Amino acid sequence: MTKFIFVTGGVLSSLGKGLAAASCGALLESRGYKVAVQKLDPYINVDPGTMSPFQHGEVFVTDDGAETDLDLGHYERFTNMTATQGHNWTTGRIYQKVINKERRGDYLGKTVQVIPHITDEIKNSIKKIAGDDIDIVIVEIGGTVGDIESLPFLEAIRQLKLELPVGDAVNLHLTYVPYLQAARELKSKPTQHSVKELRSIGIQPDIILCRCEKHLPEELRAKIALFCSVPVEAVKIAIDVNNIYKVPISFADQEVDTLVCKLLGLPHQRRKMEKWEYLSSIIDGPMSEVNIGVVGKYVDYPDSYKSISEALTHAGFHHKAKVKVHWIESSRFEKGENLEELDVVDGILIPGGFGIRGVRGMVEVVQTARTRGIPFFGICLGMQVACIEFARNAAGMESANSSEFDDEAPFNIFYKLRELVDIDEMGGTMRLGAFDCQLEDGSFAHKAYGKSFISERHRHRYEFNIGFKDQMAEAGLKFTGMSPDGLFVEIVELENHPWFLGCQFHPEFKSKPFECHPLFRDFVGASLAHRQTRDKVGAEETAREELV
């Protein structure tokens, strides 16, 4: 029978519940258990697809086309699970389902209430993740204990633990132990209040995970245990680390998974942490350095590009290189100004985004990368602006644009998806989820993947207008990735360039620390080569000047 771990958070947000849940999943997988991780979000939006990246961060897309919370990216990166629509539920989606049932008459005229109807729907969403092929379901409750909007979810897990056989569920509470510089001591009072709030709604934590900047003294752990009614060995530490992929090792050193197995009555199978230890040795070992400029619209809030930054980090692990990301607001380049900021980068990446703001600056950046031979990687919007720049400056279409930015442009090389094909089954005006792609032999993409047929995740509204393909190809743009039916352009590349590739899909969603995405791997590899060449040229010029 499937066991459950319910992860809650207290004191303040952004403590790292997602990483804690993912790390627990990684440890339990290392013991041979099949794990699934689920996120329950208390906001009323049906999904984060319409939420501002500045407020919510990136939207993580699953194979089945669900727009989900960015924590699902952590779950996939730390474990072997493949997330689906069922792994992320919001208040809005739960209420929408209950209201639809009420309208159909499913409740037979009963008064529909938070308890039991909303809480029952939440419990059903959790139970659907369980099954014969899943040993442990880890359920993360978004928000902070004490928030009014998260109460139905907390009530649901309270009920579910009572309904399950004794020993089939564990409550893990992540809280904050601040260090007061003036007093030079760690303070446990916020944790005590957080646990008191949790207990007031009927949930007693079995494990308390204390997020802190410094190690907890034993006397403070004992104090927390006493006032929160848990054994001392159940008070664990989530201390700051220099890389998130060292969190599983930190938890393993404290035997967090051993305690979980004990509480759930699971056999203590031997933990196999070799791959995590190897990764830690790379992080702490000697590394070369490469500078990647990420030129985007939402760079003031890096969580908007969380999977991008993680995929770059994974590629760095592969090359044993530290990837230093330079977050650059694209609007800085709109008048062809400030392009000297790109002199310090070894590669340029333009990620996805919506709307016209900053696009003119991106076009200037693409031209710089194309003409200077700087490795370039364009993703979704990045591919679109790469095509627009090439059409304007190399293919004789000076007014080329996308209908997203200018409906009246004489050369609209990108059109809204609905204008090209009937996509009712794809979800409104978006192409969402996994779609297949055929690669051209000998291309950058084909060399990276090592195969001719791939599947990648999409999230976009605008497609390349196939009517301009021949004209662009004659000018030197290579269309090296196409949908199997030949209707959609998936990948474009440039001839006679060190590495220049744009893709319509989002490869960052499928990158993992032990299996970096091949496109990110080769992009970072090309950027390292560009840096080495530039350093060599610089050294030669310096030597000549000294001789003179």
Could you list the active site residues?
A: 380, 506, 508
Burial class, 50, CB count within 10 angstroms (exposed 0-12 / middle 13-18 / buried 19+)? exposed
Burial class, 284, CB count within 10 angstroms (exposed 0-12 / middle 13-18 / buried 19+)? exposed
Q: Is the peptide bond before 116 cis (omega within 30 degrees of 0)?
A: yes
Q: Report the C-alpha gap between 439 and 492 in whole angstroms.
A: 10
- DSSP secondary structure code for residue 134 in this structure: B
- Terminal CA-to-CA distance of the chain, rounded, Å? 79
Q: Report the C-alpha gap between 246 and 75 in whole angstroms.
A: 15
- DSSP secondary structure code for residue 512 in this structure: B
Q: What is the DSSP string of 214-272?
A: SPPPHHHHHHHHHHHTS-GGGEEEEE--SSGGGHHHHHHHTTHHHHHHHHHT---PPP-
Locate 75 and state its tokens.
Answer: 């779950």
Locate 212 and state its tokens.
Answer: 């802190």
Per the DSSP assignment, residues forming a β-bridge with 329 are: 296
Burial class, 444, CB count within 10 angstroms (exposed 0-12 / middle 13-18 / buried 19+)? buried
Which residue type occupies 381?
L
Which residue type occupies 203?
I
* Closest C-alpha to 172, from 18, 26, 300, 286: 18
SS (H, E, C) 45-110: CCCHHHCCHHHHCCCEECCCCCEECCHHHHHHHHCCCCCCHHHEEEHHHHHHHHHHHHHHCCCCCC
Q: Report the C-alpha gap between 10 and 13 in whole angstroms.
A: 7
